[in-house]
């Protein structure tokens, strides 16, 4: 039985949902994550885009077989209710931890730059209240906020102009002085910055023109890949190899290179505006986690969002050592690779059991 029938997402909604879910906090540290290959990291975002395009296809193909169902329902259809629900619980848990990791990383950034002498309890609460307001509006409200955020924040890249001026173009020539192990390490760490496109499997039932969904999501993917490429390109030009490896938030240091008499610190402006990008990413995941709970209990309740955000708040505020938090959330991020390969596995099950699992 179909769980969703109302189509409310147009093509431009899908483009910006895909693009916004990918940016988040990953791009802030992308040059450092790719630093194992040194200056040769410039080509890696393009490689990420190719891989994302290839892995998107089985996601859309499977959703087209079940146009009115999200991944939670597809799991139950193809794996059976018992196993499907167990897997869905794990996905909800992973999304909740993923949201907490993104917020924790951003709040750490705020504390180290804009609010060095304050606790992050109040900023986290304000952030979560705003997040609840956005998600309560539904997936179309989130899509509109994603569009607004894109046009509100894209101007940040203008302030990297001075970094380009001060950069060294000779750094761009590929050296390829890395081995397979270093490339694998860079790919494993760096690709985490572009994983958000898999969220299409949760909002696909709401798309009006589902046959063009692949094209629209692909457009969003390559917008994000282009932004990642520009960030890495300018970082390679501006920083030394040592700086690429040791500066955590590279893009903020690029903004510091700005020189205008009436603005003292561009990085503070960047940190402030970046909250919109973080909100769009976690809003998509929070809404998807809420949809997972709906699939478990077959009932739509608004308090699901409040329960999830309360859990996120507790996770963020648990006073674990910073080193433990970094390792824990990194592990959670790596688990997210599961959603990239899982649709291919489900597609194989569908083909093997085609007659038994017709929608």
pLDDT band at 259, cuts 50/70/90? low
Lowest-confidence pick of 26-30, 63-67, 210-214, 288-292: 26-30
Domain membership flag for residue 352 = no
Q: What is the DSSP string of 131-183?
A: HHHHHHT-HHHHHHHHHHHHHHHGGGGGGGHHHHHHS-GGGGS------HHHH
- Segment 129-138 shows an average pLDDT of 93
Helix or strand (DSSP H, E) at 348: helix 338-352
pTM for the complete prediction?
A: 0.91
9 bridge partner residues:
207
Q: Which long-range contacts (CB under 8 A, 24 or more apart) does 212-219 make?
A: 212/11, 213/14, 213/60, 213/63, 213/64, 214/56, 214/57, 214/60, 216/11, 216/12, 216/14, 216/15, 216/18, 217/14, 217/15, 217/18, 217/56, 217/60, 218/53, 218/56, 219/15, 219/18
CATH classification at residue 282: 1.20.1740.10
pLDDT in tens, 77-118: 999 899 999 999 999 999 999 899 888 888 888 877 766 667
Write down the pLDDT at residue 307: 93
Asked whether residue 356 is assigned to any structural domain, the reply reads no
Query: Is 35 a domain residue?
Result: yes
- Note the pLDDT tens digit of each residue in 143-202: 999 999 999 888 888 777 778 888 778 777 766 777 788 888 888 888 888 888 999 999
Alpha-carbon torsion, ordered 91, 95, 100, 101, to 10 deg: 90
260 pLDDT higher than 70: no
**Cα–Cα distance, 179 to 185 (Å, whole number):** 10
Q: Is the pLDDT of residue 11 over 80?
A: yes
Helices 180-190, 44-65: inter-axial angle, 10-degree rounding: 50
Q: Is residue 4 part of a domain?
A: no
Whether 122 maps to a domain, the answer reads: yes
Task: Identify the top-confidence range among 178-187, 220-229, 239-248, 255-264.
Answer: 220-229
> In whole angstroms, what is the distance from residue 71 CA to residue 94 CA?
14
pLDDT of 32 strictly over 60: yes
Q: Which domain holds residue 206?
A: 11-347
Question: Which residue has better confidence, 118 or 305?
Answer: 305
Q: Mean pLDDT for the chain? A: 85
pLDDT for the residue numbered 4: 46
The pLDDT of 294-302, averaged and rounded, is 83
Domain count, the chain: 1
Residue 169 belongs to a domain: yes
State how far the Cα of 291 lies from the Cα of 288, in Å rounded to an integer.
5
Look at the block and give the residue holding tokens 């402030």: 272
Q: Taking the CA of residue 138 as centre, how many other CA atoms within 13 Å lie in the half-sphere pointing to its CB?
A: 8
Higher-pLDDT residue of 358, 283? 283
Percent of the chain with pLDDT over 70: 92
Could you tell me if residue 75 is inside a domain? yes
Would 355 be classed as within a structural domain?
no
Q: Is 80 helix (H, G, I), strand (E, B) or coil?
A: coil
Each residue's pLDDT tens digit, 34-66:
888 888 888 899 999 999 999 999 999 999 999
């Amino acid at each position: 039985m179909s769980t969703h029938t109302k189509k409310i997402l147009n093509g431009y909604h899908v483009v910006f949902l895909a693009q916004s879910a990918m940016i988040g906090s990953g791009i802030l540290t992308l040059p450092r994550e790719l630093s194992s290959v040194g200056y040769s990291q410039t080509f890696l975002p393009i490689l990420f885009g190719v891989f994302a395009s290839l892995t998107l296809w089985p996601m859309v193909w499977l959703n087209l077989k079940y146009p009115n169902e999200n991944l939670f329902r597809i799991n139950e259809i193809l794996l059976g209710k018992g196993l499907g629900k167990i897997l869905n619980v794990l996905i909800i848990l992973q999304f909740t931890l993923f949201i907490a990791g993104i917020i924790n990383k951003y709040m750490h950034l705020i504390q180290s730059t804009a609010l060095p002498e304050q606790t992050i309890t109040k900023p986290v609460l304000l952030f979560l209240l705003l997040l609840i307001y956005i998600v309560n509006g539904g997936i179309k409200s989130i899509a509109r906020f994603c569009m607004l955020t894109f046009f509100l924040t894209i101007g940040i890249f203008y302030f990297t102009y001075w970094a380009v001026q001060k950069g060294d173009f000779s750094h761009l020539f590929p050296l390829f002085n890395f081995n397979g192990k270093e490339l694998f390490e860079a790919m494993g760490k760096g690709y985490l910055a572009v994983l958000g496109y898999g969220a299409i499997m949760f909002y696909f039932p709401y798309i009006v023109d589902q046959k063009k969904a692949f094209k629209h999501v692909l457009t969003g993917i390559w917008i994000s890949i282009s932004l990642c490429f520009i960030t890495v390109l300018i970082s390679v030009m501006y920083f030394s190899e040592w700086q690429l490896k040791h500066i955590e938030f590279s893009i903020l240091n690029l903004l510091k290179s700005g020189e205008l008499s009436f603005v003292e610190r561009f990085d503070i402006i960047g940190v402030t505006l970046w909250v919109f990008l973080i909100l769009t990413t976690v809003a998509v995941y929070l809404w998807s986690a809420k949809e997972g709970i709906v699939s478990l209990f077959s009932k739509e309740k608004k308090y699901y969002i409040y329960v999830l955000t309360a859990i996120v708040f507790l996770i963020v505020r648990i006073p674990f050592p910073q080193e433990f938090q970094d390792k824990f959330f990194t592990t959670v991020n790596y688990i997210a690779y599961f959603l990239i390969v899982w649709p291919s596995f489900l597609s194989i099950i569908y083909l093997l059991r085609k007659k038994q699992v017709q929608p």
